[in-house]
Chains A and B, each alone.
Chain A
Amino acid sequence: MLSCKEVNRLCSEEQDRKLSLSERINLRMHLAICKACTNFRDQMRFLRSATRRYREGQRGPADD
């Protein structure tokens, strides 16, 4: 079983590389029982969508 700390690392790295099959399985097993890490992962994904929005200049309410 992966620790929360290791899961944290994978939740970031999955945005930069394809995780191996065993990493994906272990990640899924951990997330199934850990709300804190599930939140962490959701928040990593939210950051990605926020940065995408920001880099298009779409900061704040639609202004054009």
Chain B
Amino acid sequence: MNDTAAGRIDWNDPSLAKIRRDMLRFAQLQLRDAGAAEDMVQEALFSAMKYEASFAGRSALKTWMFSILRNKIVDHIRKSSREIAGADLVAGSAEDGDDFDALFDERGHWNPEDRPPTWADPESSLSQQQFWDVFEACLDRLPPKTSRVFMMREFLDLDTDEICAELGISTSNCWVILHRARAGLRMCLDRDWFGQEQAPC
């Protein structure tokens, strides 16, 4: 990657095509709207070209481009999130809430078959391409509104107060939705990547 010289980016470098594809996939997961995702990536690329001089070469080019893309997506979400009715979000989270309650018995203990097993060396998964394919598939499987809140929190790094304000939901509701999202993602990775091995409780 030609990212050593400050402010000099070779825009014809073939590796940029791959970065662009990754950016597009990231934006699509965030927005679940192919057209809007395309627009965000395009805007991010324009900004990157325009502000090329501010790229100091200290971080990898890809990291820098992703940070620009994230800012574009945050702006877009701030503009559009009021369109999502808060009441909708609440209803959506109640629907898939039952799945998680079913993991526990009436005293709130794990059902034996639902106890989270130990994951063998999860850190090493992070360097495997197949892991990220599963990770993306699991993200994609979250209910859309749950996913939206999770993305705003984890990928766009907004705090819960801001998310609540944007979406017009209460803070505690926001925490509940985030909990559902994380628990859902955990279950999906457990099932599709890490495999099964029960832990005693």
Beta-carbon contact of A34 and B175 below 8 Å:
no
Question: Which chain A residues numbered 1 to 38 have a C-beta less than 8 Å away from chain B?
Answer: 3-6, 8-9, 12-13, 15-17, 34-37
A32 to B174, CA, bound (A): 28
Contacts of A9 in B (CB 8 A): 175, 179
Encode contact with B along A44-64: 1 for CB under 8 Å, 0 otherwise: 101111110111111111111
Beta-carbon contact of A36 and B128 below 8 Å:
no
| Total interface residues in chain A, CB < 8 Å | 38
Please judge, given known A-B contacts A37-B201, A57-B66, A61-B127, whether A4 and B23 are in contact too, CB under 8 Å. Answer: no
Beta-carbon contact of B61 and A51 below 8 Å:
no
Please judge, given known A-B contacts A17-B160, A56-B63, A57-B65, whether A43 and B119 are in contact too, CB under 8 Å. Answer: yes
Question: Which chain B residues numbered 13 to 62 have a C-beta less than 8 Å away from chain A?
Answer: 15, 18-19, 22-23, 26, 60-62
Interface centre among B15, B115, B159 (most CB of A within 10 A): B115
Task: Select which of A4, A6, A47, A62 is within 8 A of B182 by beta carbon.
Answer: A47
Interface centre among B1, B3, B129, B201 (most CB of A within 10 A): B201
Question: Which chain B residues numbered 126 to 172 have a C-beta less than 8 Å away from chain A?
Answer: 126-129, 131-132, 135, 153-155, 157, 159-160
> Can you name the residue of chain B whose Cβ is closest to the Cβ of A7?
B108
Contacts of B78 in A (CB 8 A): none
Contacts of B155 in A (CB 8 A): 51, 54-55
Please judge, given known A-B contacts A4-B108, A9-B179, whether A55 and B129 are in contact too, CB under 8 Å. Answer: no
Beta-carbon contact of A47 and B185 below 8 Å:
yes
User: B7 within 8 Å of A by Cβ?
Assistant: no
User: B199 within 8 Å of A by Cβ?
Assistant: yes
User: B109 within 8 Å of A by Cβ?
Assistant: yes
User: B178 within 8 Å of A by Cβ?
Assistant: yes
Contacts of B159 in A (CB 8 A): 16
Encode contact with A along B91-125: 1 for CB under 8 Å, 0 otherwise: 00000000001001001111000011111001100
Beta-carbon contact of A39 and B127 below 8 Å:
no
Closest CB in chain A relative to B101 CB, distance in Å? 8
Task: Select which of B63, B179, B199 is within 8 A of A35 by beta carbon.
Answer: B199
Interface residues of B (CB under 8 A from A): 1, 3, 15, 18-19, 22-23, 26, 60-63, 65-67, 70, 101, 104, 107-110, 115-119, 122-123, 126-129, 131-132, 135, 153-155, 157, 159-160, 174-175, 178-179, 182-183, 185-186, 189-190, 199-201
